[in-house]
Amino acid sequence: MTLVTTITVIAVSFVITALIGAAIIPLLRRMKFGQSIREEGPEAHKKKAGTPTMGGLIFLGSIIITMLVLSYILEDVLTTQTIVLMIVLAGFGIIGFLDDFIIVVMKRNLGLTSIQKLIGQIIIAILAFFLLKMGPFETTILIPFTNFTVDLGIFYVAFLIFWLVGFSNAVNLSDGLDGLVAGTSTIAFAAFGVHGLVYEQYDIAIFSFVVAGAMLGFLLFNMKPAKVFMGDTGSLALGGTLAMLSILVKQELLLLIIGIVYVIETLSVMIQVTSFKLTGKRVFKMSPIHHHFELSGWSEWKIVIVFWGVALLAAIVPVLWEVM
């Protein structure tokens, strides 16, 4: 897979996303699919009310279309692995879409219940596991930066479920500022794309760069001030797919580094909730932690840039390790 091919894959995905976005956003606006803002959220976010959401439909559609288009141009694009990735992407996207639809269209503030989401996520994770088990599939986990592995055996399916559910919700928690998740996910998928190139997993590389290109295209509409939000439709799909990618390349725990922003955001919520329940005091002014920085006086743009920088540095470390 040459540099020209890589750039072409990213460019095709970027252009298709931009075209779909230009067509769908006015439609979402006319249908009044606007985001509602939590009363307890930062005051500055109130002005974002009414911005179209469910924008995840833009890049989900683009990724699937791009993969189908590329399958006619390049060899070995639609493999068992990339089909599983698209099933996870679409499956988690559907769960997110149902949640968004119930909140935005049916005007039921809670959307899907936590149990309903969890059941849907588990079903998709189990389906992915059985599809992978149809071929050769290792149940080992590699410790990052070592040659040491741990074989989970029959417990790997439980790990897979935990990993997909955990990261889909982690990315969902992180989606609170214009461009934050779109930018960090571009970096994360690009890192897995480089991993695919290094280890000659070209189907994985192509899919990863397709997603990276789609997220760059989505940033055209999601940068501050955002013209559209990805909603749960996009964030749940991205998180579940990232987790599935790490499993397919057998670098599961490496996602804790590449996805460090999502890990920190989730930990901040866990710390906040635990502290308040045990002591009645809050550690952060608001969680997830990006809201803490907002209430500390940081501009939204500054927070996003800093978090992108953290994501980029975290992604560069394992990439350099593999290349060297």
Q: What is the pLDDT of residue 236?
A: 97
User: Does 306 map to a domain?
Assistant: no
pTM across the whole model: 0.94
290, part of any domain:
no
235 within domain boundaries: yes
Q: How far, in Å, CA of 132 to CA of 33, rounded?
A: 37
- Is 274 domain-assigned? no
The Cα 204–Cα 202 span in angstroms is 5
- Give yes or no for a contact between 249 and 207, defined as CB atoms under 8 angstroms apart: no
**Residue 291 in tokens:** 């809201």
**Domain contains 140:** yes
- Bridge partners of residue 149, in order along the sequence: 142
What is the tally of structural domains in the chain? Answer: 1
User: What is the Cα–Cα distance from 229 to 122, expressed in whole angstroms?
Assistant: 25
Q: Give pLDDT, residue 120.
A: 96
> Which one-letter DSSP state was computed for residue 280?
S
What pLDDT score does 104 carry?
85
Kindly state whether residue 146 falls inside one of the protein's structural domains: yes
CB contact at 8 A, 274 and 122:
no
Structure tokens at 143: 């410790």
C-alpha 2/C-alpha 269 separation (Å) is 42
Report whether 172 belongs to an annotated binding site.
yes
- Domain range holding 67? 3-256
Instruction: Measure the CA–CA gap between 91 and 175, rounded to whole angstroms.
Output: 19
Distance CA 189, CA 238 (A): 9
E runs forming strands in the chain: 140-142, 149-151
Please report the pLDDT score of residue 324 as a whole number. 65
Backbone angles phi, psi at 141, to 5 degrees: -125, 130
Report pLDDT for 45: 61
What is the chain's pLDDT, residue by residue, as a tens digit (324 residues)?
788 899 999 999 999 999 999 999 999 888 877 666 655 556 566 566 778 889 999 999 999 999 999 998 888 899 999 999 999 999 999 999 999 999 888 777 777 888 999 999 999 999 999 998 887 788 999 988 888 999 999 999 999 999 999 999 999 999 989 999 999 999 999 999 999 998 889 999 999 999 999 999 999 999 988 999 999 999 999 999 999 999 999 999 999 999 999 999 999 999 999 999 999 999 999 999 999 999 999 999 999 999 999 999 999 988 787 666
Q: Is residue 179 part of a domain?
A: yes
272 lies in a domain? no
